[in-house]
Amino acid sequence: MLLKACHCQCGIHYVTRPETRLELAFTKTSFHNMPCEVAARFLILYGSQHGQAQSIAEEICQQAAEHGFTADISCLSNQHKYNVDHEIRPVVFVVSTTGDGDPPDTAQKFVRKIKNKSLAHDHFSHLRYALLALGDTNYANFCNGGKTIDSRLQQLGAKHFYATGHADDGTGLEVVVDPWIEGLWDALKKMFSSMSSNQQGADLRDCTQDNYHKNASGQEKNKSDLEVDLHLLKLSEVDSQKGKTITSDSSDVETLFTALVASLKQSVPPLSESVLNVPALPASYLEVHLEQGSTERETVPSDKDCYHEVSISKAVQCTQDDAVKTAILLELDISEQNIAYQPGDAFDILCPNRASEVEELLLRLDLQTQKNCAVQVNLLKNSSKKAAKVPLHIPQNGSLQFILTWCLEIRSAPKKAFVRALADFTQNGSEKRRLLELCSKEGSADYNSFVRDANVCLLDLLRAFPSCLPPLSLLFEHLPKLQPRAYSAASSSLQHPGKVNFVFNVVEFPARPEHPARTGLCTGWLADHVSSILRPLGTVPASEHLGTSALPKVHVRPRPSSTFHLPADLSIPVVMVGPGTGVAPFIGFLEQREKEREANQEATFGETWLFFGCRHKDKDFLFREELERFAHNGTLSHLIVCFSRDEPDAAGTVNSPTYVQHNLRLHAKNVASILLKDKGCLYVCGDGKNMAKDVNDTLLEIIGNKLQIDILDAMKIVAGLREEKRYLQDIWS
Q: How confident is the model at residue 298 (pLDDT cuts 50, 70, 90)?
A: low
pLDDT in tens, 335-392: 999 899 999 999 999 999 999 999 999 999 999 999 999 999 999 998 888 788 999 8
Confidence of residue 498 (pLDDT cuts 50, 70, 90): very high
Amino acid at 60: I
Residues 6+ apart with CB under 8 A from 674: 573, 575, 607, 609, 680, 682
Kindly indicate the confidence band of residue 428, based on its pLDDT and cuts at 50, 70 and 90.
very high
Sign, CA dihedral 22-28-32-33, equals: negative
Q: Determine the pLDDT at residue 546.
A: 56
Supply the pLDDT for residue 194: 84
The one-letter amino acid code at 63 reads Q
Mean pLDDT check: name the lowest of 66-75, 430-439, 648-657. 648-657
Q: Which secondary structure element, helix H or strand E, spans residue 205, and what is its range?
A: helix 202-205
**C-alpha 654: how far from chain center:** 39
Which CA distances in Å does 211 have to 48, 84, 222, 383?
27, 22, 5, 35
* Partners of 727 in beta bridges: 682
- 208 pLDDT tier (thresholds 50, 70, 90): very low
Handedness of CA 390, 395, 398, 401 (dihedral sign): negative
Mean predicted lDDT score pLDDT of the chain: 84
- The DSSP line for 282-330 is PPP-EEEEEE-SPPPPP--S-GGGT-EEEEEEEEEE-S-TTSSS-EEEE
Phi, psi of 178 (to 5 degrees): -60, -50
Tell me, what amino acid is at 499?
A: K
In the chain, the largest separation of any two C-alpha atoms, in whole Å, equals: 85
Local confidence band at 230 (pLDDT 50, 70, 90 cut-offs) = very low
Distance separating alpha carbons of residues 546 and 534, to the nearest angstrom: 13
Q: Give mean pLDDT, residues 433-457.
A: 95
pLDDT of residue 66: 82
Residue 507: CB atoms within 10 A of its CB come to 15
Residue 585 has pLDDT above 90, yes or no: yes
Average pLDDT value for residue range 521-540: 90
The amino acid that residue 245 corresponds to is T
Secondary structure letter of residue 103 according to DSSP: P
Q: Please state the rounded mean pLDDT for residues 221-239.
A: 36
Nearest to 78 by CA among 114, 122, 102, 47: 47
Q: Measured between alpha carbons, how far is 663 from 397 in angstroms, rounded to an integer?
A: 57
Sorted by where each starts, the structural domains of the chain and their CATH numbers stand as 40-193 (3.40.50.360), 574-731 (3.40.50.80)
More confident of the two residues 230 and 577: 577
**Strand-pair category, 220-221 with 681-687:** unpaired
- Which range is least confidently modeled, 49-58, 700-709, 720-729? 49-58
Rounded Cα gap, residues 181 and 185, in angstroms: 7
Per DSSP, the chain holds a count of helices (H) and strands (E) of 22, 24
